[in-house]
Amino acid sequence: MTGTRERGDGRRRVMVTGYGAVTPLGHCVDETWTAMLAGRSGIDTVDTIDVTDLGVRIGGQVRGFAPGRYMPPRVSRRADPYAQYALAAALEACEHAGLVIDEEMAPRVAVIIGSGYGPVGSIYRAADILRDKGPRAISPFTQVTTAMDSAAGEISMRLGTQGPSRAQSTACASGADAVGAGMRMISHGEADVVLVGGADACVTTVDLAGSGNARALSRRNDDPTAACRPFDVHRDGFVMSEGAAVLVLESAEVAERRGATPLAELIGYGASSDAHHWTAPHPEGRGACLAVEAALRDAGTTGSEVDYVNAHGTGTQLNDATETAVLHKVLGDRVNRIPVSSTKSMTGHMIGAAGAVELVASIQVLSTGDVPPTINCDEPIDPDINFVPRQAQHHAGVRIALSNSFGFGGHNAALIVRAV
């Protein structure tokens, strides 16, 4: 640990000391990161539900996940897949951080899990049971397992945390906003350790149909791995995916006292609203600019010091064009000299989990200098920006990374991390 335990403004410094992930690319961070650097896509034809009548039949599924590796049957039977993924990621994160929560620490440990959709699979199943079998067939756990806070609750009960535990829901910005909320809790002394992240499991018939009818999803059903094309001229929509990521945040003082090795320092968070449209970003990117500018101010830095951007990069016509304009405005000519990549090109859009997974990837870039590619970016919409097309690149001296998350409803969030 280097430097002081406080920032120049008197707030406590916030360290990332561990993380875990469950994604369409793998069931842990190492598997996911290896696949990202290899440019491997986790998108395929959906086979867990009947997609015969759907216009969109592709998605990013978590395949081969075995709940029994992470939780007893009584938990897996009641927990929606999104909560199962979150719990698995939280257990990996704690193991990675060497974090054991004892009775003394427990009251100062919090949990914040973001989700855009929550336990939708359990909700849909409960409705089907009620219709087909009547009210007596409804499980007494239904009111718990169909709640948005069920992932946070499962993590808290499993690990014995006694600080605040709550859900965060801001559509596609949910995971990033959960990280930002946890950062604030530690900065202002409300908690010493916070497990933060996001989770979603919304590759369902209803959600594929709804987003497909909104014309937000790619329809490249015959070529799934080429479907998600962030910043490519021929992009035609995002790909619905599922997964989770959880990070351990600690005050610098607590991390030092525990002997934990920081992976990165979380130095900036900003959030805003477009106040414009439910599914389309503001045409001038006003809300996105506000969020990124707020994160830079919070970090005490400027766009000229950013070395890498993990873009929101969904592969939709409007988002990619708007985000490109925002990066030019906020970063100036710096954006033409640094790598900007979208890992959604490989994972698909994990909605509430996206921001957390992408922050993990950003920290991996800081640690290794290896930058994951934007696959399928064959004809970039802006040839002056290095979108890291098709293949990973190595960039030495990456010290500060920006991770963007922009969601339906005009929710925007930006996170900034610094190497330690």
Question: What residues contact residue 133 under an 8 Å CB cut-off, 6+ apart?
Answer: none
Asked whether the beta carbons of 118 and 167 are under 8 A apart, the reply is: yes
DSSP label at residue 173: T
Q: Nearest-CA neighbor of 124 among 178, 215, 48?
A: 48
Q: Which of 172, 228, 289, 377 is catalytic?
A: 172
Asked whether the beta carbons of 282 and 406 are under 8 A apart, the reply is: no
Identify the burial level of 382 via C-beta atoms within 10 angstroms of its C-beta, where 0-12 means exposed, 13-18 middle and 19 or more buried.
middle
**Max intra-chain CA distance, the chain:** 64
Which residue is listed with tokens 């359990």? 122
Q: Could you tell me if residue 105 is left (phi over 0), alpha (psi between -120 and 50 degrees) or otherwise beta?
A: alpha
Which residue is listed with tokens 């830095």? 301
Question: What residues contact residue 211 under an 8 Å CB cut-off, 6+ apart?
Answer: 56, 217, 240
CA distance 4 to 251: 11
Handedness of CA 212, 217, 220, 222 (dihedral sign): negative
Exposure on the CB side of residue 76, measured as CA atoms within 13 A: 11
If DSSP codes are grouped into helix, strand and coil, which group holds residue 139?
A: coil
Handedness of CA 61, 64, 69, 73 (dihedral sign): positive
Q: Is 172 an active-site residue?
A: yes
Question: What residues contact residue 42 under an 8 Å CB cut-off, 6+ apart?
Answer: 23, 24, 25, 35, 60, 61, 241, 346, 347, 348
Q: CA angle at residue 57 from 51 to 59, to 5 degrees? A: 115
If DSSP codes are grouped into helix, strand and coil, which group holds residue 220?
A: coil
- Phi and psi for 136 in degrees, rounded to 5? -70, -15
Question: Which positions are catalytic?
Answer: 172
